[in-house]
Amino acid sequence: MAPMSYCPECGNRLERHLVGGEERRHWFCRACGVPRHDHPLVVVTCFVACDQQLLWVQRELEPKRGLWAIPGGFLESGETLAQGAARELGEEAGIWLPPEQLQLYMTGSITFINQVYVAFRATVDSVDCKPGVESRACGFFSRRDCPWEEVAYPEVNDSIRQVYADMERGAFGIWEAQMSEQRYALREVRQGLQQGGQEGR
């Protein structure tokens, strides 16, 4: 269970929530008399492809300042998943795409950092991009040239490799990733069609 030691309402120290002697997977504030949840946060990302290259951004903010990542961030209140992904893409790389243009690509559960992520993908015709205030730089990289040694979140490297593989085969599936500290599993829940098939772009 992720650490959350103080009540966000009253500031008292939280306890494990025991119900009938069984420990629940959330906290309890004795002062407020209510459970305090720390549900997983939702991260939205967007893989943007141009030919065989993928868009990366170099972070300007902590954490992981100076390291490279796929554009993305936390979903905010009131946003749909695609709206959040499109916003992050615009803010970090200056590429403003309508949310309807983003295609669902991957869902992931990362239990050890208490996050779920939803990744979209999009294709653009030009490598034009411009780092926003949260980014130091951005650019399109082929699988060979991308900054594998300087990635901010190596736990999702396998997912990124899958994007490059899908780009190379010219067919994007829809993937479900499950990551725990012990295990990384990636499952194609809908097979991608080869280019020229019925799939929209």
Residue (9 or 168) nearer to Zn ion, CB: 9
Residue (17 or 136) nearer to Zn ion, CB: 17
CA atoms within 13 A on the CB side of 96: 2
Question: ∠ at Cα 18 (16, 23), nearest 5°?
Answer: 75
Q: Which stretch binds Zn ion (CB under 5 A): 12-20, 44-52, 111-119, 164-172?
A: 12-20
Residue (28 or 184) nearer to Zn ion, CB: 28
- Scanning 30-120, the segments in alpha helix (DSSP H) are 81-93
Residue (7 or 46) nearer to Zn ion, CB: 7
The residue within the footprint of Zn ion, chosen from 1, 6, 9, 181 (CB under 5 A), is: 9
Residue (29 or 167) nearer to Zn ion, CB: 29
Q: What is the per-residue binding string for Zn ion in 28-47, x denoting contact by CB under 5 A? A: -x-xx---------------
Residue count, binding to Zn ion (CB under 5 A): 7
Cβ-based burial of 107 (10 A; exposed 0-12, middle 13-18, buried ≥19): middle
Report residue 134 CA to chain centroid gap.
16
Smallest distance, Zn ion to C-beta of residue 15, A: 11
Bridge pairing between strands 174-179 and 103-110: parallel
The yes or no reply on residue 10 touching Zn ion (CB under 5 A) is yes
The yes or no reply on residue 4 touching Zn ion (CB under 5 A) is no
CA atoms within 13 A on the CB side of 198: 1
Smallest distance, Zn ion to C-beta of residue 37, A: 13
Tell me the Ramachandran region of residue 54: left when phi exceeds 0, alpha when psi lies from -120 to 50, beta otherwise: beta
**Residues at the site binding Zn ion, with contacts judged by CB under 5 A:** 7, 9-10, 12, 29, 31-32
